[in-house]
Amino acid sequence: MVTLQEWLEEIDARARTRLGTGRVADYIPALAEQKADRFGIAVCTNEGDIYTAGEAQEPFSIQSIAKVFLLTLALRVQGDALWERVGLNPSGMPFNSLAQLEAERGKPRNPFINAGAIAVADRLVSAYATPSKHLRDVARTLSGNASIRIDARVRESEWRHRARNAAMAYLMKAFGNIDNDVDQVLDAYFSCCALAMSCVDLARALNYLAADGHARAIGAPFIAPDLARKINSLLFTCGMYDAAGDFAYRVGLPAKSGVGGGIVAIVPGRLSVCAWSPALDDSGNSVAAQYALELIAETLGHTQAPGGGLAARPRQHAP
3-state secondary structure of 65: helix
Q: How many CA atoms lie within 13 A of 181 on its CB side?
A: 4
Closer to ligand GLN by Cβ: residue 158 or 294 = 158
Helix, strand, coil fractions of the chain, as percent rounded to 5: 50, 15, 35
Q: Does 122 bind ligand GLN (CB under 6 A)?
A: no
How many whole angstroms separate alpha carbon 135 and alpha carbon 186? 15
Residue choice 165, 191, 277, 299 for contact with ligand GLN (CB under 6 A): 165
Closer to ligand GLN by Cβ: residue 235 or 259 = 259
How many whole angstroms separate alpha carbon 202 and alpha carbon 245? 23
* Neighbour count for residue 305 (Cβ, 10 Å): 15
* Least spacing, CB of residue 119 vs ligand GLN, in Å: 13
Q: Does 276 bind ligand GLN (CB under 6 A)?
A: no
Binding mask 170-199 for ligand GLN (x = CB under 6 A): -----------------------x------
Residue choice 53, 197, 259, 271 for contact with ligand GLN (CB under 6 A): 259
Which residues have CB under 8 Å from 149's CB, separation 6+?
136, 195, 196
Q: What is the spatial order of strands in the sheet that 255-257 belongs to?
A: 50-54, 40-45, 271-276, 262-267, 255-257
Active-site residues: which are they?
64, 67, 189, 241, 259
Site size for ligand GLN (CB under 6 A) = 11
* Least spacing, CB of residue 262 vs ligand GLN, in Å: 9
How many whole angstroms separate alpha carbon 278 and alpha carbon 55? 12
* Neighbour count for residue 33 (Cβ, 10 Å): 10
Give the Cα-Cα-Cα angle 5, 7, 11 (nearest 5 degrees). 115
Q: Does 287 bind ligand GLN (CB under 6 A)?
A: no
* Least spacing, CB of residue 170 vs ligand GLN, in Å: 15
* Neighbour count for residue 315 (Cβ, 10 Å): 11
Residue choice 46, 64, 91, 143 for contact with ligand GLN (CB under 6 A): 64
Binding mask 13-52 for ligand GLN (x = CB under 6 A): ----------------------------------------
Closer to ligand GLN by Cβ: residue 157 or 299 = 157
* Least spacing, CB of residue 280 vs ligand GLN, in Å: 9
In the window 88-117, what residues touch ligand GLN (CB under 6 A)? 95-96, 114
How many whole angstroms separate alpha carbon 44 and alpha carbon 147? 19
Burial class of 70 by CB neighbour count within 10 A (0 to 12, 13 to 18, 19+): buried
Residue choice 258, 261, 278, 309 for contact with ligand GLN (CB under 6 A): 258
Closer to ligand GLN by Cβ: residue 200 or 280 = 280
Q: Does 261 bind ligand GLN (CB under 6 A)?
A: no
Residue nearest ligand GLN (C-beta atom) = 64
Which bin fits 213, alpha (ψ -120 to 50), beta or left (φ > 0)? left
Query: Where do contacts with ligand GLN occur on this chain (CB under 6 A)?
Result: 63-64, 95-96, 114, 158, 165, 193, 258-259, 284
